[in-house]
Amino acid sequence: MFHQQTFITIFIFFFFFTLLLLQFTTPTTPPPPDYPCKPPHHSHHPFCNPTLSISTRATSLISLLTLSEKINQLSNNASSIPHLGIPSYQWWSESLHGIATNGPGVNFNGSVKSATDFPQVIVSASSFNRSLWFLIGSALGVEGRAMYNVGQAGLTFWAPNVNVFRDPRWGRGQETPGEDPMVVSAYAVEFVRGIQGGDGIKNVFNDDHDGLMVSACCKHFTAYDLEKWGEFSRYNFNAVVSQQDLEDTYQPPFRGCVQQGKASCLMCSYNAVNGVPACASEDLLGLVRNKWGFEGYITSDCDAVATVYEYQHYAKSPEEAVADVLKAGVDINCGTYMLRHTESAVKQGMVKEDNLNRALFNLFSVQMRLGLFNGDPKKGKFGKLGPKDVCTPEHKKLALEAARQGMVLLKNDNKFLPLDRNSGISLAIIGPMATTTKLGGGYSGIPCSPKSLYEGLKEYAKTISYAFGCHDVQCDSEDGFALAIDIAKEADFVVIVAGLSTIQETEDLDRVSLLLPGKQMDLVSRVASASKRPVILVLTGGGPLDVSFAETNQLIASILWVGYPGEAGGKALAEIIFGEFNPAGRLPMTWYPESFTNVPMNDMGMRADPSRGYPGRTYRFYTGSRIYGFGHGLSYSDFSYKLLSAPSKLSLSRITEGGLRKRLLNNVEKEVYEVDHVRVDELQNCNSLSFLVNISVMNHGDLDGNHVVMLFSKWPKVIRGSPETQLVGFSRLHTISNKSIETSILVDPCEHLSFADEQGKRILPLGHHILNVGDVEHTVSIEIF
């Protein structure tokens, strides 16, 4: 009896001990983030009163800080202020095309284990769909705020990247919306509005003017598009840029991001611009605040304050570097350089406390717009967002739709695609990128439901076989060729997945060649020769490729560019190959031949210069041969256009100010047409000249599908510095088989038909401007009187 009682006692003891142990060892949801203005001890401060203006609250808070406390706010990892009840804050979170693991602000160690992985930006840009860009931004804003609410993210996300994709070798071109400044600007505007909670989200959450769901950041300002090329790196590179190129290529995306998108953050870049580091340039950062009306905070790229002294050698000491960037307008340093050297700079008289107060005003103002000083965030308008709002069916469906819309059909001889799913075909899939589920490219997180290209295609074939062909994307040997050729001989159809990965192109790494890596070209050609039928070539990667060998090879019937399509890329590819989705993506960048690698990457000039054999850059100015042009993209349907209405003549007489009118009248006696252009800034109420171009689009195919209408302009005659052609506007619309649909594109002549002269002033050429959509042309004559 004794032994039995002892056993029961011991059993009960261990049972409850185990329960107690489990209580402390079982993973639990991390606590929500700490927050300022917590009652009862710290909610009485004026800066906690949401009925006061943000300006008043931010100024009040700054007045309560010591010099040391101010300095400790000047890092991405801002220190706590215990006596005011303000916790530390991590400014650095990333959300380029999904909540990403880059940066210390985000983690996936709590109740949120993954987040929606949308296609890389260059792929989403290929959709030419403004509403899609807005919806992606909105989804990222919801997921970002939801992760903040459970302590797994900050609220300040450093995206989007709106640098122009100037050089095809650039490792980060994949992160951008392409090479056209108007398209990049349009993407920036929609993405920022979406992620910050504007427009549609505003209605859902009953938002107010100042409220932000999360904060977006336009990066990298400016003329940044070189990682490492020869002796040049992004840390020491001095981008020599003309005022002309700054005005009509490099700056428009940032201007749109700030003025129309209302971004609450701007990131200055590592490089110098015309001899002055971007983060130390009072001219550049002053332009943003004083001319563009930017209201937000300016952060340096990570350690970009240090580069002012250590790489650019612009400053003579660390203290001088800190002084330079603070005086220029930088508010926060990603890194610790300002933490370590600002106090010394103040003591040496290089930095005034007013500089710090300005920086803190901008930082605290954005935090207040985010609601961080309004008490418990769970009681705020976004407080109910949580794990249930991440990886939702709607967001995953949106990721699939973005991948569908962004994939580009480059070649389709004899309408080889789509394949018939119902014919019970056998497929051979070849290539090392076919089985990876890491399809997001740079700045990715942990996807919700990743699926490889192979897995997507497997669901559509009766039988499927796979061979890697190359052990990896570098493809240094032919060890896997034999098996790839063998399965190609047996299958009804062959899909070869070739191209790039982030091993070839990524941050801090530019490419040296535009050809397929290693022996990939040999693999593709030999498999194509062995296959029963012509093969389908699928290209991965964000940068342009010279695949002229495949374009001219009749054994390669179809070429599809999928880029980095995100978590739903496998399904989207299968739907396109088997005709469940009619492709409509268009390339947002020129695909150059390998010979373009002879062009110096450090030459920032956009316009061609025949005298030195310089071919120019991007479709607007490039004069050389192309593999595929900007805007190229095929469909399973054929389309034709009919221009329904557009004006034939525009007169500037009613919008010219007195001085300009007098000068023009003085020229009449000579011959008025000696005046070949007018300056846009001399025209009054210029947008009153805007007009609609109404277009009818006919789908001649047997399949419904989306179609991207692109309206271009050409100049009346060759004026020094004018582009070869320029995109005026675009519209993505859904078309019905064998039916027509109408669309309209708004043309603002002072914006869309102008360009910058050598002084960086926009000029509007007079005479006959040619508008074209497809092979349909229309002339609009711009006259003075």
Closest among 433, 728, 398 to 572, alpha carbons compared: 398
Q: What are the tokens at 669? A: 């006696």
- Nearest one of 451, 456, 425, 420 to 438, comparing CA atoms: 451
CA 616 vs CA 589, 607, 723: distances in Å: 14, 5, 10
Burial of 785: CB neighbours in 10 Å, binned 0-12, 13-18, 19+: exposed
3-state SS class at 744: strand
* Residue 621 in tokens: 């100015």
Token reading at 754: 């102008």
301 is a catalytic site residue:
yes
Cα–Cα distance measured from residue 625 to residue 629, given in angstroms and rounded to the nearest whole number: 9
272-273/276-277 β-pairing: antiparallel
**Catalytic residue among 207, 301, 331, 546, which?**
301
Identify the H or E element spanning 693: strand 691-699
Q: Which of 699, 721, 715, 718 is nearest to 772 (CA)?
A: 715
Cα–Cα distance measured from residue 374 to residue 51, given in angstroms and rounded to the nearest whole number: 10
Token representation of residue 61: 């808070």
Given a contact cutoff of 8 angstroms between Cβ atoms, the answer to whether 286 and 329 are in contact is yes
Identity of the amino acid at 134: F
Look at residue 706 and give its three-state secondary structure: strand
3-state secondary structure 541-574: CCCCCCCHHHHCCCCEEEEEEEECCCCCHHHHHH
Largest CA distance in the chain: 127
Pairing of strands 556-563, 535-540: parallel
- What are the strands of the beta sheet with 272-273, ordered from one edge? 238-239, 272-273, 276-277
Q: Which amino acid is at 20?
A: L
Give me the helix-helix angle, 318-328 and 353-369, nearest 10°: 60
**Nearest partner of 360 among 64, 126, 583, judged by Cα:** 64
Distance CA 104, CA 83 (A): 26
> From CA 686, how far away is CA 665, in angstroms rounded?
20
Amino acid at 718: V
Q: What is the distance, to the nearest Å, from the Cα of residue 257 to the centroid of all Cα atoms in its chain? A: 11
- Angle, vertex CA 724, rays to CA 747 and CA 182, nearest 5: 45
The residues that bridge with 642 in the sheet, in sequence order, are 696
Start-to-end Cα distance in the chain? 116
**Nearest of 689, 691, 686, 697 to residue 746 by alpha carbon:** 691
Hey, which residues are catalytic here?
301
